[in-house]
């Protein structure tokens, strides 16, 4: 199997993420049907991104952002995708010996902040209009794209 370098892969992910955010901020939207083939491709990319970068949600955001679904369905689909992808990725990392149990200690430190963030997100998510929710999501993913590119530049 062909492998590309980590730096190149992260650069591609960061660039595509920024490009997607820019296109959406300009008001452009690809109208893609949520076909079985497109969903399969998204799942495939989500698996690569999850185990390759830890960012499994980027492909599903690209797909769902290109379809006409409600913000509620967008959030529920994304959350379900990321959850299932995370479970499968974790199982794969454990089976290949990459994941070690001592990594779980990090989770103990992240868990309180995660729970607080989830509560704040649930509380504020109900207050946002569809347009505001999309803008917040695009800003968030734009920052991720910039962060990934910044890491490459400052390596």
> What are the residue boundaries of the structural domains of the chain, listed by start?
6-150
Q: Which residue has the tokens 């109900």?
A: 126
In this structure, are residues 24 and 138 in contact, taking their beta carbons and an 8 Å threshold?
yes
Give pLDDT tens digits along the chain (155 positions).
Answer: 456 777 787 888 888 888 888 888 888 877 777 678 888 888 888 877 776 666 777 788 878 777 777 777 877 888 888 888 878 878 888 898 888 877 778 778 888 998 998 888 888 777 877 778 778 888 888 898 898 888 888 76
Predicted local distance difference test score (pLDDT) of residue 91:
86
Q: Within 13 Å, how many C-alpha atoms sit on residue 97's CB side?
A: 0
Number of neighbouring beta carbons within 10 Å of residue 111: 10
pTM: 0.66
Q: Residue 123's Cα: distance from chain center in Å?
A: 21
* Beta strands, E only, the chain: none
């Amino acid at each position: 199997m062909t492998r590309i370098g980590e730096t190149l892969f992260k650069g591609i992910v960061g660039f595509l993420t920024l490009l997607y955010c820019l296109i959406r901020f300009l008001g452009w939207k690809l109208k893609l049907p949520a076909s079985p083939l497109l969903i399969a491709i998204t799942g495939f990319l989500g698996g690569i991104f999850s185990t390759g970068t830890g960012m499994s949600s980027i492909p599903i955001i690209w797909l769902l952002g290109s379809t006409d679904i409600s913000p509620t369905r967008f959030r529920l689909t994304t959350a379900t995708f990321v959850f299932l992808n995370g479970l499968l990725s974790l199982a794969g990392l454990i089976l290949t010996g990459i994941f070690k149990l001592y990594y779980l200690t990090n989770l103990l430190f992240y868990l309180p902040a995660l729970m607080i963030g989830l509560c704040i997100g649930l509380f504020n998510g109900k207050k946002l209009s569809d347009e505001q929710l999309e803008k917040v999501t695009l800003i968030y993913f734009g920052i991720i794209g910039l962060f990934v590119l910044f890491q490459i530049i400052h390596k």
